[in-house]
Amino acid sequence: KNAVISIEAEPYSLEITPSKCALLIIDMQRDFLEPGGFGEMLGNDVSQLRQSIEPNQKLLVAWREAGLQVLHTREGHRPDLADLPPAKKVRGHGAKTIGDTGPMGRILIRGEEGHDIIPELYPLPGEPVIDKPGKGAFFATDLHAILQNLGITQLIVTGVTTEVCVNTTVREANDRGYECLVPEDCVASYFPVFQEMGLKMIKAQGGIFGWVSHSSKIISALG
Ligand code: TIU
- Lining ligand 1 with CB less than 6 A are 27, 32, 42, 75, 135, 160-161, 164-165
Q: Residue 42: what pLDDT?
A: 86
Instruction: Grade residue 2 by pLDDT with cuts at 50, 70 and 90.
Output: confident
Res. 23: pLDDT tops 90: yes
Report CA(1)–ligand 1 centroid distance (Å).
Answer: 33
Report CA(168)–ligand 1 centroid distance (Å).
Answer: 10
ipTM of the complex: 0.98
11 preceded by cis ω (within 30°)?
A: yes
Q: Helices (H) and strands (E) in the chain — how many of each? A: 9, 11
Q: Tell me what the mean pLDDT of segment 61-69 comes to.
A: 98
Phi-psi region for residue 126, left (φ > 0), alpha (ψ -120 to 50) or beta?
A: left
From 88, 158, 165, the mutation candidate for ligand 1 (largest count of ligand atoms within 8 A of CB) is: 165
| Dihedral sign for Cα atoms in the order 49, 51, 54, 55 | negative
Average pLDDT, the chain: 97
Rounded CA separation 20/40 (Å): 37
Atom in ligand 1 nearest the alpha carbon of residue 190: 9
Helix, strand or coil, per DSSP, at residue 201: helix
Least confident of 34-38, 77-81, 125-129, 211-215: 34-38
